[in-house]
Structure 1
Amino acid sequence: MFAWLTRSIGKALNRRRVARETGPKAFQDLSRELRELAEIATRVWPQEATFQDKIRSIRDEMDQLDELTAKPEFRLLPLKKRLELRESLLHSKTQLMDTVSTAPPPTMRPQ
């Protein structure tokens, strides 16, 4: 009896966690973080034209994502698609953070 109750509570908690991670608010937060990272990246790599184009593309996609999550139809997307989108955003965030961390120093003088 207790094992069944424990499993049921565990399943319910897992469903709530997944719903929280794939809800519109979570995607809006992720897009905001990516936009902030993109802003930082434009400051550390200002001379790279192709990189600036990629950053502009990221900003446009985050704007589209915000528009999509604001619509009620977003909740109708299958859970699998939302999880894939979340994983893709997290991967993009990691790549952008790596790019920012590998930026050359602004001066050659040690600080």
Structure 2
Amino acid sequence: MIEWIKRTLRELAVKRRIARDIHPDSFRALAGELVELADIAARIRPDEHAFQLRVKRIKREMDDLARMTGRPEFRMLPRKKRLELRESLLSSRDQLLKTVSDAPVPTTLRQ
């Protein structure tokens, strides 16, 4: 009996975490974070035209996503689709973080 209660509570906790992860507010927050990272990445590589185009595309897509999450249709998307979208956004965030961390140092002088 106690094991059943523990298992049920764990399953409930997992369901609540997933519901929180795929809530429209969490998508808006993640999109805002990606826009900020894209801004930082754009400042790191100002001379690369192709990279600047990618940054603009990322910003535009994140603005579109933020608008879409405000619509009732977004909540009607299947849970699996929203989880896939979240994983894709997390992957994009990791790639942007890697881009920012791999930035060349601005000076060769030791600080």
Q: In which range does the TM-score fall when normalised by the shorter chain?
A: over 0.9
Deviations 1:84-107 (A, max 9, x none): 000000000000010011111222
Task: Report the counterpart of residue 14 of structure 1 in structure 2.
Answer: 14
Distance in 2 (CA, whole Å) between partners of 1:56 and 1:110 is 34
Partner secondary structure for residue 47 of structure 1 = coil
Task: Report the counterpart of residue 56 of structure 2 in structure 1.
Answer: 56
Deviations 1:20-41 (A, max 9, x none): 0010011111101100000101
User: When the two structures are superposed, what TM-score results if normalisation uses the length of structure 1?
Assistant: 0.95
Residues 32-43 of structure 1 aligned to structure 2 (within 5 Å): 32-43=32-43
Q: Does residue 25 in structure 1 map to residue 62 in structure 2? A: no
CA RMSD of aligned residues (A): 0.9
1:110 Cα deviation from its structure 2 partner: 2.4
What is the aligned residue count? 111
Task: Report the counterpart of residue 76 of structure 1 in structure 2.
Answer: 76
1:109 Cα deviation from its structure 2 partner: 2.3
Deviations 1:58-82 (A, max 9, x none): 0000001001101111111111101
Partner secondary structure for residue 64 of structure 1 = helix
User: When the two structures are superposed, what TM-score results if normalisation uses the length of structure 2?
Assistant: 0.95
Letter in 1 for 2:52: Q
Structure 2 residues without counterparts, runs of 5 or longer:
none
Percent identity between the aligned chains? 50
